[in-house]
C-alpha cells in the first residue's frame, strides 16, 4: 500500500511538470500575437485612417471575392469528385480515389508560377490554338489573361479542392445506406439522392473542407501576387517590405486575423450537428452503382480533369523545364545550397514542432481536464493564422529580445551581439514551429488515444513516474503517429513561403524563396528545378493519405 501511495504521488508530481511545460509552450505560441497587438497600437490614428481610406477597402474586397470564389470552386469539385468515386463503379475508379489527392502536392504559388508560363500569350499552348484557328499573331487571338481574379480563383480551386474531397468522401463512405436505399425505393433518381439525401448529410464535412481551403487561400502570398490580386496578405507584405511600415502591416495583419477567426467560427457553427451525419450502428454503407462502359469512360474523364489541371499539367511542365535547364547548365551549386538550407530549416523546425507537440499532447493524457484541453487549443491556434501574420509577430518579439541582449552586452561587456535570433535563422524555425504545432499535437494526441489506459495504471502500480511511463511505454507505441506527424510537418515547412520569405537571414535562399524571386522577375525557367523538388517532396504526404483512403474504402458497402 505504501508503494502504491508513493507511486500515485510521483505520478501526480510528474503530471504537474508536464502541464507546466505545456503552459510555457502555449505562452510561446501566443507571444507573437501579443507582439502583433503591441506593434499595431504604436500606429497613430492618422495611419489607421489612411489604411482605412486607401489600402484596406481594396484589399478587403479582393480578399472576400477570392474567398467566395475559391470556396465555390473547391466545394463543387470536392463534393462531385467524392460522390463520383463513392457512388459509381467504372473503369479507373480505384486509380481516381488516390489520384484526386495529387493536387495537394502542388503549392498554390507553384500552380500560379507554372500556368503563367504555360498560358503565356506567346507560349506553346496559345500558339497551338492560334495555329489550329489560322491566326498568326497574339493580336488576332489570345486567351483571357491569367493575371486576373477569375484566373486566381480557378487555379487555387484546382489545387485546394482535395481539402473538401477528403472529408466529404469519408462522410459518404460512412453514411447509412438504409437512408439512401429508402430514397431509391421511393423512385428518386441517383442524381436526386445526391442533392436531397447524401449532400445534406455531408454538409458538416463540406464546411470543414471549405474552411481549410479558405485558410490556405488566406495564407497564400505568391499566387495572389503573381496573378495580380491584392489580398490582405499581399497588402501586409507590401506595407511591411515596400513601405517599411511595420505598425501599418501589423494593423492589416490584425484585420486578416479577424477574418481567420470568423472562418473558424463559421466552420464550428457548420459542424455543430455533425453527429447527425452518420449512423452510429452503420449496418452498411452506400451501395455502389455499376454503370455502362461508355458512361463509365465519361465519368472517368470527368474525374481525371481536375487531376490533370491541378497536378498533371504543372508536373509535366516542371519536369520538361527542369530537364532543359539541366541539359543547358547542369545542376548549379546554388540549387545545392538551397536544398541544404531548405532541409536544415525544415528539419530543425520539425524537431522543435514534434518535441513541443509531444509535451502538449502527453500533458492532456496525464492531466486530463479543462486546463490541459485549453492549452492544447491555444498551442494549436498558430495553424489557423496565416504565415504572414505569424512572421510579423515573431519579428516583433525576437527583435525585442535581440535589442535587449545587444544593449546588455554593449553596456556590460563593451561589444555588440548583433541580431542573434533574426540573423541566424532561429526566427524562421520559431515561426514554422508556431505555424505547424497543431499538426504535431493533433496527430500525436490521436496516437496516444489508441493506447489503453490500463498500461498507465500498470506502470504506476510498478512505481514508474509519468515521465518513465512516457519513455518506456507511450513513446514506443506512438512511433507511427509521431512519424506521420513529422512527415506532414516537414513537408509543410518545405512548402511554406510567407514565413520563410519574410524572416530568412540575408543571403539565405530556400527552394520556396528562390522560386518566388525568379517568378517575380519573370525568369520561370531558372526556378523549374526548385519547383520540381518542392512538388516531389510534397508527394510524400499524398502517398500517406492515399493509404489511409484505401483503408477507408475497404469498409464493406
For the cut 50, the answer to whether the pLDDT of residue 97 exceeds it is yes
Calculate mean pLDDT across residues 52-79.
88
pLDDT value of residue 468: 80
CATH number of 43-106+147-330+523-557: 1.10.3720.10
Predicted local confidence at residue 113, as pLDDT: 86
Q: pTM of the full predicted structure?
A: 0.83
**What integer pLDDT is reported at residue 557 of this predicted model?**
43
Residue 399 C-alpha from the chain's centroid: 27
Phi then psi for residue 197, to 5 deg, are -125, -60
pLDDT tens string 245-289: 788 788 888 888 888 877 777 766 665 555 544 444 444 556 677
pLDDT above 80 (res 388): yes
Give the 3-state secondary structure percentages of the chain, helix then strand then coil, rounded to 5.
80, 0, 20
Q: How far apart are CA 83 and CA 470, in angstroms?
A: 42
Q: What is the pLDDT of residue 45?
A: 57
| pLDDT for 1 | 41
d(CA 17, CA 466): 10
Q: Where in the chain is the domain with CATH 1.10.3720.10?
A: 1-35+332-510, 43-106+147-330+523-557
Please state the CATH superfamily assignment of the domain spanning residues 1-35+332-510 in this structure: MetI-like (1.10.3720.10)
Q: What is the pLDDT of residues 412-423, one digit of tens each?
A: 888 888 788 888
Q: What percent of the chain has pLDDT over 90?
A: 17
Q: In sequence order, what DSSP letters do the residues of 242-305 get, joined into one string?
A: TT--HHHHHHHHHHHHHHHHHHHHHHHHHTTTGGGSS-SS----PPPEE--HHHHHHHHHHHHH
Q: 454-502: per-residue pLDDT in tens?
A: 777 787 777 777 778 777 887 888 888 888 888 888 988 998 888 898 8
Q: What is the mean pLDDT of residues 288-297?
A: 83
Q: Dig out the grid coordinates for 198 from the structure.
A: 447524401
Cα separation, 86 vs 510, whole angstroms = 40
On whether the CB atoms of residues 157 and 77 are closer than 8 A, the answer is yes
Amino acid at each position: 500500500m505504501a508503494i502504491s501511495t508513493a507511486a500515485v504521488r510521483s505520478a501526480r508530481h510528474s503530471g504537474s511538470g508536464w502541464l507546466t511545460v505545456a503552459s510555457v509552450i502555449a505562452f510561446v505560441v501566443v507571444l507573437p500575437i501579443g507582439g502583433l497587438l503591441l506593434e499595431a497600437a504604436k500606429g497613430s490614428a492618422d495611419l489607421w485612417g489612411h489604411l482605412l481610406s486607401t489600402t484596406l477597402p481594396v484589399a478587403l474586397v479582393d480578399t472576400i471575392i477570392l474567398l467566395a470564389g475559391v470556396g465555390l470552386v473547391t466545394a463543387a469539385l470536392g463534393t462531385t469528385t467524392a460522390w463520383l468515386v463513392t457512388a459509381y463503379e467504372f473503369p479507373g475508379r480505384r486509380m481516381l480515389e488516390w489520384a484526386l489527392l495529387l493536387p495537394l502536392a502542388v503549392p498554390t504559388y507553384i500552380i500560379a508560377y507554372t500556368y503563367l508560363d504555360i498560358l503565356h500569350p506567346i507560349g506553346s499552348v496559345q500558339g497551338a490554338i492560334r495555329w489550329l484557328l489560322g491566326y498568326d499573331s497574339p493580336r488576332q487571338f489570345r486567351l483571357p489573361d491569367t493575371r486576373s481574379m477569375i484566373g486566381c480563383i480557378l487555379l487555387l480551386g484546382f489545387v485546394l479542392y482535395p481539402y473538401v474531397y477528403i472529408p466529404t468522401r469519408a462522410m459518404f463512405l460512412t453514411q447509412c445506406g438504409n437512408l439512401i436505399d429508402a430514397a431509391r425505393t421511393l423512385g428518386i433518381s441517383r442524381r436526386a439522392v445526391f442533392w436531397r439525401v447524401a449532400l445534406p448529410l455531408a454538409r458538416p464535412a463540406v464546411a470543414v473542407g471549405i474552411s481549410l481551403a479558405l485558410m490556405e487561400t488566406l495564407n497564400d502570398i505568391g499566387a495572389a501576387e503573381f496573378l495580380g490580386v491584392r489580398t490582405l496578405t499581399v497588402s501586409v507584405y507590401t506595407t511591411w517590405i515596400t513601405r517599411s511600415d511595420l505598425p501599418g502591416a501589423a494593423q492589416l495583419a490584425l484585420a486578416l486575423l479577424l477574418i481567420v477567426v470568423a472562418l473558424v467560427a463559421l466552420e464550428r457553427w457548420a459542424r455543430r450537428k455533425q453527429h447527425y451525419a452518420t449512423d452510429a450502428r452503420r449496418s452498411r454503407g452506400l451501395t455502389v452503382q455499376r454503370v455502362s462502359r461508355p458512361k463509365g469512360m465519361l465519368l472517368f474523364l470527368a474525374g481525371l480533369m481536375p487531376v490533370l489541371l491541378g497536378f498533371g499539367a504543372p508536373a509535366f511542365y516542371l519536369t520538361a523545364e527542369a530537364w532543359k535547364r539541366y541539359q543547358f547548365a547542369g545542376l548549379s551549386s546554388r540549387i545545392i545550397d538551397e536544398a541544404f538550407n531548405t532541409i536544415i530549416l525544415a528539419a530543425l523546425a520539425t524537431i522543435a514542432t514534434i518535441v513541443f507537440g509531444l509535451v502538449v499532447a502527453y500533458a492532456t493524457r496525464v492531466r486530463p481536464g479543462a486546463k490541459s484541453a485549453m492549452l492544447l487549443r491555444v498551442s494549436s491556434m498558430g495553424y489557423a493564422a496565416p504565415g504572414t501574420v505569424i512572421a510579423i509577430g515573431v519579428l516583433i518579439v525576437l527583435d525585442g529580445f535581440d535589442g535587449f541582449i545587444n544593449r546588455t552586452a554593449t553596456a556590460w561587456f563593451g561589444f555588440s551581439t548583433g541580431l542573434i535570433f533574426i540573423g541566424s535563422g532561429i526566427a524562421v524555425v520559431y515561426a514554422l514551429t508556431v505555424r505547424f504545432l497543431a499538426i504535431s499535437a493533433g496527430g500525436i494526441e490521436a496516437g496516444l488515444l489508441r493506447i489503453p489506459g490500463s498500461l498507465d495504471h500498470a506502470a504506476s502500480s510498478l512505481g514508474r513516474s509519468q515521465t518513465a511511463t512516457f519513455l518506456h511505454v507511450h513513446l514506443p507505441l506512438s512511433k507511427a503517429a509521431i512519424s506521420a506527424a513529422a512527415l506532414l510537418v516537414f513537408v509543410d515547412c518545405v512548402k511554406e513561403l510567407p514565413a520563410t520569405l519574410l524572416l530568412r537571414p540575408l543571403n539565405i535562399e530556400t527552394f520556396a524563396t528562390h522560386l518566388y524571386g525568379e517568378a517575380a522577375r519573370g525568369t520561370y525557367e531558372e526556378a523549374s528545378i526548385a519547383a520540381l523538388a518542392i512538388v516531389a517532396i510534397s508527394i510524400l504526404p499524398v502517398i500517406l493519405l492515399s493509404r489511409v483512403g484505401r483503408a477507408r474504402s475497404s469498409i464493406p458497402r
